[in-house]
Amino acid sequence: MQQMGIDTTDWSRVDLFCKDRRIAGKAFKLLTLEELMALKPKLRKIERMKKEKKEKERYSMMEQERYSVERECYCDDFENLNINVN
């Protein structure tokens, strides 16, 4: 939870996070051992998904920059041709 930015020194924040139905659906202190064991892979998956999203965004930005550079080079080459239309 700390890696996800949850302040684990504040139990009210931990409970609030765990109460989300997508996480555990109840306060951390009320979770059974089985529920705690099921929570671990969920948290890992959430963290993995965040990481994948960041990588995807980074790749997308790199692609946009590459396209922009290619376009600039193409336009520069086109302008340097000095073709007279008349």
Domain count, the chain: 1
Reading the block at residue 34, the tokens are 């089985």
Answer whether residue 8 is part of any domain. Answer: yes
Domain that holds residue 60: 2-79
Tell me if 11 is assigned to some domain: yes
Give the pLDDT band (50/70/90) at residue 3: confident
Mean pLDDT of 4-9: 89
Q: Report pLDDT for 77.
A: 58
Q: Is residue 17 part of a domain?
A: yes
60 residue type, one letter: S
Q: How far apart are the first and last CA of the chain?
A: 70
Contact, 51 vs 58, CB < 8 A?
Answer: no
State the alpha helices, DSSP H only, in the chain: 11-19, 33-79
Examine residue 15 and state whether it is found in any structural domain, yes or no. Answer: yes
Q: Is 86 a domain residue?
A: no
Whether residue 85 is contained in a domain is answered as: no
**Is residue 35 one of the residues assigned to a domain?**
yes
Per-residue pLDDT of 29-84, as tens digits, reads 999 999 999 999 999 999 999 899 888 888 887 777 777 766 666 665 556 655 55
Closest C-alpha among 11, 61, 52 to residue 31: 11
In this prediction, residue 1 carries a pLDDT of 86
